[in-house]
Structure 1
């Protein structure tokens, strides 16, 4: 998959494509339906399938730390889009200049003149341009004279509910990982490179792999039974997502303790799939109380995986 970083990097060879535009946060099953429409148009017109996304996401730019929690960081989003078969992604830098782009100018200068879009697929609630002045009707009107077909994909529904990033955030905040998975189409996961931490886990007998949560807001916190993927291998473990209140921490962090694991993985990329929530994060009255709770958490996580394995074996 080709990644084009910024509108200024669109070249002549990128003229002529089918396109969809959006945040695609989480790349959930609703997004999958939009991508399906995109791929169908690409095949029918023999043109490359192209997705336009934004960094930061618009609400992150306007609302800063009041923006909704992000489900997927850029690297993971690109990997999921590539897995779906998207050929090109244009990652637009969402800044003040872009935010002030008049909707009609964006359509003419970028979609028509630069990209030569022949088919545009957008969600039914798509809005764009300065002050969100652009909508589906404007796209249709401007596209008609330029040979750009515009279609809207109706909101995909799962279990009689609209699949959306907002609904997934709500499920995650409530600790309902199964509902989130149903809407995402895959386990909710956090990934990144393992960094050096305070080494407190090692001192307490529970060494952890730490990943900084480089997002303005995290969609959940607490202690979870997890599966971590490192260099293609999967390990069971228990993880805390939060700011370590017992140590008066202020930085959001993912701390993963892997069972029967003794390797040094600093600097390596790790994907942590959250399988089951055990409890909320809490502040303890000293290290002894914390250690006892960690032991209980590890036992609970192992029991979860034992029961999951038994249930899976029984269904075969």
Structure 2
């Protein structure tokens, strides 16, 4: 898969494509159905498949630094890895900034879609809005498609038990720690992946060393202590994981994922691991001191062992 950030780069490689557009947060089953539709049309037209990936999310841009926006299910790195795993040929990372937010719908079509990417077919939802003040819509795309000679197709939608699968719905289920349902909606267990970074070594001092990961999100979709599995290459190990803001030891407001891998003593600094969430143990709490925190971590680890040794996990 080739990742581009400039349409000039694409025109050097290809003359046309079949494209879709979105945030693709979570790359859930609904997204996967669109990707299948995209690839199928690309094969029929003998053209490459291309996903226009909007980064940052418009909600994040308009919220500004420190503003409130929906929690991300997946980081940019995770999205790109998932899109590649589904066999997409190109990803155009479309930067959502002030200039793009002020681009008229007509210029959006002509500059990006027609002249920039040379689209032969554009697959979007009938509720897709774009351009300055969201004035562009599906009908405008159809009209401009007739004018410029590209096809506009409506995306297929995916429902489960009458519920349309969406990133919003999955966030709600994560907040309820409904990991079994989330796994069904994603087509895989929910996980957070990242590089192990050096921390304050507080866990080591307390007798529970942790692998620390920056979640790479402005807002995190989970808070609390969880029974997890950690994927280390092709190995899986059980872990007690805290994800949140560590209120007992800091008030800097930065989110951190801390994974205490059970019965494990290897140096993982600089390595990438994936933390797979299985069951919530408790909410994140603020303790009176480190002794109380250490006692609770011991109880958490015991509970994680119990949960992950149960037949249903």
Higher helix share: 1
Question: In structure 2, which of residues 137, 148, 151 is the aligned counterpart of residue 149 of structure 1?
Answer: 151
Kindly state the Cα deviation for residue 40 of structure 1 after the two structures are TM-superposed: 1.0
Question: In structure 1, which of residues 211, 214, 222 is the aligned counterpart of residue 213 of structure 2?
Answer: 211
Cα distance between partner residues in 2 of 1:204 and 1:179: 35
Tell me the residue number matched to 1:180: 182
Contact 1:124 1:154 in 2 (8 A): no
SS of 1:237's equivalent?
strand
Question: In structure 1, which of residues 210, 232, 245 is the aligned counterpart of residue 234 of structure 2?
Answer: 232
Cα distance between partner residues in 2 of 1:197 and 1:106: 44
Kindly state the Cα deviation for residue 263 of structure 1 after the two structures are TM-superposed: 0.5
Greater alpha carbon shift after TM alignment, 9-18 vs 215-224:
9-18
Tell me the residue number matched to 1:170: 172
SS of 2:31's equivalent?
helix
Cα distance between partner residues in 1 of 2:293 and 2:202: 11
Q: Does 1:286 align with 2:289?
A: yes
Tell me the residue number matched to 1:56: 56
Q: Deviations over 1:55-101 (max 9, x none)?
A: 21111111133111111111110111111111110001211111111
Gaps spanning 5+ residues in structure 1: where? none
Q: Deviations over 1:87-143 (max 9, x none)?
A: 110001211111111111111122112211111111232111111111111111101
Given the two structures, how large is their TM-score scaled by the length of structure 1? 0.94
Cα distance between partner residues in 2 of 1:258 and 1:270: 11
Cα distance between partner residues in 2 of 1:56 and 1:75: 12
Cα distance between partner residues in 2 of 1:181 and 1:85: 21
CA RMSD of superposed structures (Å) = 1.4
Change (3 A) 1:262 1:249: farther
Greater alpha carbon shift after TM alignment, 17-26 vs 125-134:
125-134
Q: Deviations over 1:251-301 (max 9, x none)?
A: 210000001110011111111111111111011122222122111211111
Tell me the residue number matched to 1:44: 44
Tell me the residue number matched to 1:223: 225
